Chain A
């Protein structure tokens, strides 16, 4: 049982390049989400999904796309990277959507630098 797996751990991009951050969980969790963490800003929700085929925007969705074709995977796409997207990205999941006491399981993060 690997939990939440994020790849890659580190990535450097040039402005305008595109890439996909991968997130996979093997716990059959309904809910998956992406956060970005910036110094002094805490964690801000980018996008989330409450099940396969269902996604919604979080607090800071601009410049990012997501899809959820399977329960296990929730990739985050940067279509045209900008320096403002330099950040540490965390994927997180939890078992059920409509239950408030479920804890989030976090991946170990992806450190992204956009030059």
Chain B
């Protein structure tokens, strides 16, 4: 079965600083990887996804993620964060043969301070 580990439960940063949110996965078969964002008191929204091809994936709001198969990682990055990026971020994985059910990590709370 697949699993997802988000290595940091909370990441505080200052506005305009770069940020990296870490995600590692485990699976014995090919996986499809996603990052979702949850703003306060809302449901989740898709930020970006990796299926195949280029290992660098660009998403909405200036975020990008890099798939590293050898390290089984899919870290999320943004070169300069804004106050409005304060949210909880979830890494998720799905595999074939399971109707592509999504398994989520435990989330990383990104807090951007002025």
Tell me the A50-68 residues at the B interface (CB within 8 Å). Answer: 50, 56, 58-59
Closest-CB distance, B23 to chain A (whole angstroms) = 12
Most buried by B among A43, A90, A97, A109: A43
How many of chain A's residues have a CB under 8 angstroms from any CB in B?
29
Closest-CB distance, A99 to chain B (whole angstroms) = 7
Tell me the B23-54 residues at the A interface (CB within 8 Å). Answer: 32, 34, 36, 42-46, 49, 51
Expressed in whole angstroms, the Cα–Cα distance for A92 and B46 within the complex equals 12
Binding site for B on A (CB under 8 A): 4, 31, 33, 35, 40-45, 48, 50, 56, 58-59, 90, 92, 97-104, 106-109
Task: List, sorted by A's number, 10 A–B pairs whose CB atoms are closer than 8 Å.
Answer: A35-B104, A42-B90, A59-B103, A90-B44, A97-B100, A98-B99, A101-B32, A104-B36, A104-B46, A106-B45
Binding site for A on B (CB under 8 A): 6, 9, 32, 34, 36, 42-46, 49, 51, 90, 94, 96, 99-107
Partner of B100, one of A35, A40, A43, A98: A98
Partner of A106, one of B32, B44, B103, B107: B44
- CB of B42 within 8 A of CB of A108, answer yes
- CB of B43 within 8 A of CB of A106, answer yes
Closest-CB distance, A23 to chain B (whole angstroms) = 12
- CB of A90 within 8 A of CB of B9, answer no
Q: Given A90-B43, A90-B44, A106-B44, answer yes or no on A43-B104 (Cβ-Cβ < 8 Å).
A: yes
